[in-house]
Structure 1
């Protein structure tokens, strides 16, 4: 089958996906043969992009790392535009074993975050949220690994943002605290924090380069 025939099958799906996923969900198809103008179809352009725009740096990084060789998609990673935070997923479009494009779905988290912050402020006004400085937990685990795991969970919980809705800045804050507390020096901690933050281990190392 020719590449253009494959692309047409995915492009024909866009109206259906847009109707199912809603207006705050951007759906993009990239043709990787032309990275400087890779977007060949887009619905609900919440990010402000348009047909003919270039491939993102992150998408190019995925290609450079060859992640598409061993998996068909990457789900639920963080994306950002100038005004919005996204929960993004990418499906690799292939012709046989050759990657030719990407189907990207970007869920706009900004309205949900605004609602969460409004709810948090409402709860605070009635003293229904425990102060962070009072959120003290005593650990009785005997294993250092278990203690590290519990500490990671505690620090993530203190962000008061579900992991699925965390921005990159939220995750950097978590990593900074874990680093300050020397939790990341514990054996297996990198794998554990990657699992709890729903990102890959290479992503954690990339984030660590951005903090002090």
Structure 2
């Protein structure tokens, strides 16, 4: 079996081989297309190549919440194809995230294709209105693309602790555990130092955050430990 060093060399070779593909895809599909190559071995700076300018991604930027979900899936993560999200700036983006694996099946990165379909969506909406009444479209989820991983984690915490729930101190125990369970499922805690960051964001101790995470992963069977 190949050792860790050999596998890293293999992963480096895959990343290097895909670099020209990034540029080639955008050259083929034009300015409405963006292709981003991620190396998940460095979640804080996972973007190693980018062409196009749909989401504003730059080399050296952190993975998005989409990448965190891939990390949460581990080696069982699957490709996520043709999903639609909305940027904070209002762009409608159709995307595909294709995971990269080494010969041992370990997920270590992703090739992401983003297509700006904002104008297409407007035309579709107009045609739908002309055709007559229709069911209200489902709300498109918003994805925040930040350049640093701390901002991505902060956005996820804020998103899953909505204003109607108030502050951490306003949450009862089941909702506190549900918050940690949700953040864990989104891959937040796959990032180094993220538990400490979440604790700071919620205004609780690091020990308390680790305790809630352990309880959430165990199904919440344990009693609360440590200060909130």
Would you say same fold, with TM above 0.5? yes
Q: Corresponding residue for 2:43?
A: 35
2:84 counterpart SS class = strand
Q: How far apart, CA to CA, are the structure 2 residues paired with 1:70 and 1:82?
A: 26
Which runs of 5 or more residues in structure 1 are unaligned? 124-128, 133-156, 170-201, 204-212
Which runs of 5 or more residues in structure 2 are unaligned? 1-8, 143-184, 187-228
Larger relative CO (CA 8 A, sep 6+): 1 or 2?
2
Q: 30, 33, 37: which is aligned to 1:25?
A: 33
Cα distance, 1:86 vs. partner?
A: 1.1
Give the RMSD, CA atoms, in angstroms: 2.6
| Corresponding pairs, count | 134
1:108 aligns with 2:116: yes
* Deviation per residue, 1:97-138 (Å, 9 max, x gap): 1112100011111121223344456x3xxxxx33x3xxxxxx
1:52 aligns with 2:57: no
Q: Corresponding residue for 2:18?
A: 10
The alignment's TM-score, normalised by the length of structure 1, stands at: 0.55
Q: How far apart, CA to CA, are the structure 1 residues paired with 2:38 and 2:77?
A: 20
Q: Corresponding residue for 2:80?
A: 74
Q: Corresponding residue for 1:64?
A: 72
Give the 3 Å change call, closer, same or farther, for CA 40–70 of structure 1 in structure 2: closer
Q: Corresponding residue for 1:91?
A: 98
Note if contact 1:79-1:106 (Cα within 8 Å) is conserved in structure 2.
no
